[in-house]
Amino acid sequence: MRLPLLQPATTPPPSPSRGDALVDSHGRVIRDVRLSITDRCNFRCVYCMEPDVRFLPREQLLSPDELARLASICLWLGVRRVRLTGGEPTVRPDLLEIIAAVAALGPEDLAMTTNGSLATPALARAWKAAGLTRLTFSLDSLDDATFASMTRSSCSSGTVVDAIRVAIDAGLGPVKANAVVVRGRNEREVVPLARLARDLGIEMRFIEYMPLDSGRAWDPAKLVPASEIVDLISREFPLVPLGKDHEHSTALEYAFADGSPGRIGLIAPVTRPFCGACSRLRITAEGKVRPCLFSVEEWDIGARMRAGASDQSLRDFLLDCAWTKQQGHGIDAPGFRQPDRPMSAIGG
């Protein structure tokens, strides 16, 4: 299956108040960038992509130097935190070079999201030495049958748990793990995953199911709301609400009432939207700027860069892109349009 293609990106409307920071038309300041380094993945998770998805030609992917140049421009414009995403970042053979190039720019935080299938102690130590700050893992189930049905991969859940331990040992923390909860598939895994957070002393974050799949088969009936997830956990492990760790955080934090290590995070974009405090911007693996995860328009900064644009020209272009960031995702609004590309092609 070929992914639907967006119309060729045009120049975004100019921001009427260009400054030295990325600000959108709703007054939100962009401090976080999700930099996708590949759309490829060795999993085919049901909430993300169909088994027959086709990927971009490799020559279209941004090189380490190009990724570092875009990161440098973002940091110059006030971005403080960079997250490397995919696809699955660890399938890029030059990942270590990318980490080192971006880390050399001095972001406050350089994180990476991974499914953990390819992480080894030697690689984790190398990523840490190259400048990676921390790792977040995708882990939707501890039951191997459920894990296999959700990821459509030959990897086991135990492999990912081992990778989490490797990350902890390498000092790539605070380590977090994400689970997308889909009714009829893995809601029974919520409590075992919460127990894992206690056992390993990590933050286990549960994410509401969103319309970002390549099969465009999202069904709101499969949504398990955050309130239900909290209730499921609290019956086994009473929780104490902590709120958010900072105003732009996507997760509502909970501690265990008995003082056990670990935390629970709830990311509820559908039932508890956090769009008003969003400080994020995404750049896809081939250099398309997406101001919002649910953007239906994207702007081609990669093509401008490869055509010889100066740093100042790229800064101005990015300022204009940020200005177009929509007020909210509008999932519950009449006429909501799902993004043309799935999460794997957008960058998480």
What does the domain layout of the chain look like in residue ranges? 32-346
> Tens of pLDDT along 196-239?
999 999 999 999 987 765 566 667 888 999 999 999 999 999 99
pLDDT-based confidence at residue 251 (cuts at 50, 70, 90) = confident
Residue 98: what pLDDT?
98
Q: Fill in the DSSP letter of residue 271.
A: T
> Tens of pLDDT along 86-96?
999 999 999 99
Residues near 134 by beta carbon (within 8 Å), at least 6 away in sequence = 109, 111, 112, 167, 172, 173, 174, 175, 176
Residue 18: what pLDDT?
65
The structural architecture, per CATH, of the domain 32-346 is Alpha-Beta Barrel (3.20)
The residue-averaged pLDDT of 141-152 equals: 96
Q: Tell me which residue of 215, 134, 216, 232 sits closest to 181, measured CA to CA.
A: 232
Backbone phi, then psi, for 95, in 5-degree steps?
A: -60, -45
Residue with the bigger pLDDT between 73 and 292: it is 73
In sequence order, what are the beta bridge partners of 83? Answer: 34, 111
Give me 315's structure tokens.
């800064």
pLDDT-based confidence at residue 300 (cuts at 50, 70, 90) = very high
The secondary structure element, H or E, covering residue 36 is strand 32-36
Give start and end residues of each alpha helix (H) in the chain.
64-76, 95-103, 121-130, 144-151, 157-170, 190-200, 226-236, 301-306, 311-323, 343-346
Residue 180 contacts residue 209 (beta carbons within 8 Å):
yes
Indicate the pTM of the whole model.
0.91
